[in-house]
Structure 1
Amino acid sequence: MKLVKLLLLGCVVVIVAASCNTSQKIFVEHDYSYETNFKAYSTYAFLECERDTGNVCTEVYNAIHRQMQARGYRLTTNKPSLLVNYGIFYDNLRYQGYMQPVIKNWVDTEDDSFKYEPIRYSLDKGTIIVSLIDADTDQVVWRGYAAGIFKNPNAANNYYRNVVRTIFDQYPLFASGYDPRGSGGQSNGR
């Protein structure tokens, strides 16, 4: 009898804990160009935020800046190698992405046999799209996106920072000349 009560109490605790968790999963994905030498980029500049007039753009800007710095990229207005464009979309969005290998695997092999396999997504309300654009060619070389970001009405203070970090988890590459293991993560001067 004691065992049954203990099991019942354990089930109640699990159910209550699960119902208290208001965070819902967001959909995160990325696409990239097979014609890009990702190892050549070291600096970046921002383009204007698209589709938002509120404070979300500022929070997303700061979060992207933090993620780029963590990967060794330097913010500059003088001939950046990458341009960062980002937008916040409030409505549902139809989007064509691509089925591709994880970017790190492709960068390591640069296998020319990979093909773009289009896939259509119906992205839920609240999508952040971050694009990295080659400053010389004006071509998008990487795009990360997170959908369903407005599902959690009780978002924490650092919510958008965490969403952007989740997007950039899809971009595990470092700036040219940057060694995260050596010299305190500083650039080695390239």
Structure 2
Amino acid sequence: MLRNIILAASVILISACSNTPDWDYDKSVKFTNYKTFSWSADADLKNNGGNAYQINDLMEKRVRNAIIEAMLKHNIKLVESENADVLVNYHASVDSKIEADSFNTSYSARWNYWGFGYQTQTHAREYDVGTLVIDVIDKASNQLVWRGAKEGRLRNKQTPEQRTTSVNKTVFAILENFPPVEVH
């Protein structure tokens, strides 16, 4: 019994840690020079492998609005492409995963069988995991200088407000480390 509780607590702890955004960036870049951004020509959820029910024009709008808000919080504003310091690209993917839970349900004896035992039940569920990736490209060099990504379980049957809140939280979590703090 104690072993099952410890196992369940470990699974919960591991799953909680997996929702942390992942970042990578070029340490040679001086990010404080970036004051403006524009959209990359490739910035589109649907054209980059997003084919799930939730990848649509409404979600596209939510992602763009959340990126604009998050960048403004870092004092980087949206401008026309010719005036931008950096280009922002984003894309999403959706993968199906299977989650299985096994647990002991009871002790029992069988007819015409001497002895006791326990029964193990396994339940499997398929669910969708979405990953949103945001790239920042230096416009002058056309080089990727920063990338952030976050994955999370997709939920169906949400209101538009719940979807907007979810997108905002995801985008803000990804862009929390942009621009990265420069250590000298």
Range class of TM-score, shorter chain:
0.5 to 0.7
Equivalent residue letter for 1:171: F
Q: Which residue of 1 aligns with 2:115?
A: none
1:113-168 Cα deviation digits (max 9, x unpaired): xxxxxxxxxxx820000001000111111111001241586582411101111111
Root-mean-square deviation over aligned CA pairs: 2.9
Of 87, 91, 111, which residue of structure 2 is paired with 1:87?
Answer: 91
In structure 2, C-alpha distance between the alignment counterparts of 1:173 and 1:126, rounded to whole Å = 24
**Is 1:125–1:147's contact at 8 Å kept on the other side of the alignment?**
yes
Which residue number corresponds to residue 119 of structure 2? none
How does 1:166-185 map onto structure 2 within 5 Å? Answer: 166-171=173-178, 173=180
Q: In the alignment, which residue of structure 2 is the partner of 1:127?
A: 131
2:145 corresponds to which residue?
141
SS at match of 2:136: strand
Name 1:57's counterpart in structure 2: 60
Unaligned 5+ residue runs, structure 1? 1-22, 93-123, 175-190
Decide which structure has greater strand share: 2
Q: Give SS of 2:148's match.
A: strand
Contact 1:63 / 1:161 at 8 angstroms: preserved in 2? Answer: yes
Which amino acid in 2 is paired with 1:139? Answer: Q
Q: Verify the 8 A CA contact 1:27 1:148 in the aligned structure 2.
A: no
- After TM superposition, the score normalised by the length of structure 2 is 0.57
Displacement of 1:24 in angstroms is 10
Matches within 5 A, 1:5-44: 26-44=19-37
Deviation at 1:79, TM superposition (A): 2.2
Percent of aligned positions with the same letter in both sequences?
26
Instruction: Check whether the contact 1:30–1:170 (CA below 8 A) recurs between aligned residues.
Output: yes
CA contact (8 A) 1:26 1:149 kept: no
CA distance change for structure 1 residues 39 and 167 in 2, over 3 Å: closer, same or farther? Answer: same
Name the CA distance, whole Å, in 2 between partners of 1:91 and 1:79: 37
In the other structure, the counterpart of 1:15 is: none
- What do the CA deviations read for 1:55-99 (whole angstroms, capped 9, x no partner)? 21111110000000111112111320010000111126xxxxxxx
- Distance of aligned partners of 1:125 and 1:37 in 2 relative to their CA distance in 1, 3 Å threshold: same
Q: CA 1:43 to 1:91, structure 2 compared with 1: closer, same or farther past 3 Å?
A: same
